A = this chain, B = another copy of it.
Amino acid sequence: MNINQLPYVGFLGFDVFGTVVDWRNGIARASEDFLNLHGIDVDPLDFATEWRSLYQPAMQTIRAGERPWVPLRVLNRENLEIVLARHDADFGGMADAELSDLNRGWERLDPWPDSIEGLTRLKTRLPIGPLSNGDIAGMLNLARFAALPWDVITGAEITKTYKPIPQTYLGSAAAVGFDPEQVAMVAAHNEDLEAAKAAGLRTVFVRRPYEHGPDQTTDLTATGRWDIIAESLTEAADALGCN
Min CB–CB distance A154 → chain B (angstroms): 8
Name the contact of A175 in the complex, choosing from B157, B176, B177 (C-beta under 8 A). B157
**From A136, A150, A176, residue with most partner B Cβ within 10 Å:** A136
Q: Assess whether A191 is interfacial by the CB under 8 Å rule.
A: no
Q: A42 to chain B: which residues have CB within 8 Å? A: none
Number of interface residues of A (CB under 8 A): 20
Please give the residue numbers on chain A whose beta carbons come within 8 Å of chain B beta carbons, in ascending order.
127, 136-141, 143-144, 150-154, 157-158, 175-178
Which applies to chain A's interface (DSSP): helix, strand, loop or mixed? helix
Q: Are B137 and A175 in contact (CB under 8 A)?
A: yes
CA distance A201 to B125 in the complex (A): 36
- A139 to chain B: which residues have CB within 8 Å? 152
What residues of chain B lie closer than 8 Å to A175, measured between beta carbons?
136-137, 157
11 contacting pairs across A/B (C-beta < 8 A): A127-B144, A136-B176, A137-B175, A137-B177, A137-B178, A140-B152, A143-B151, A143-B152, A150-B151, A150-B152, A153-B153
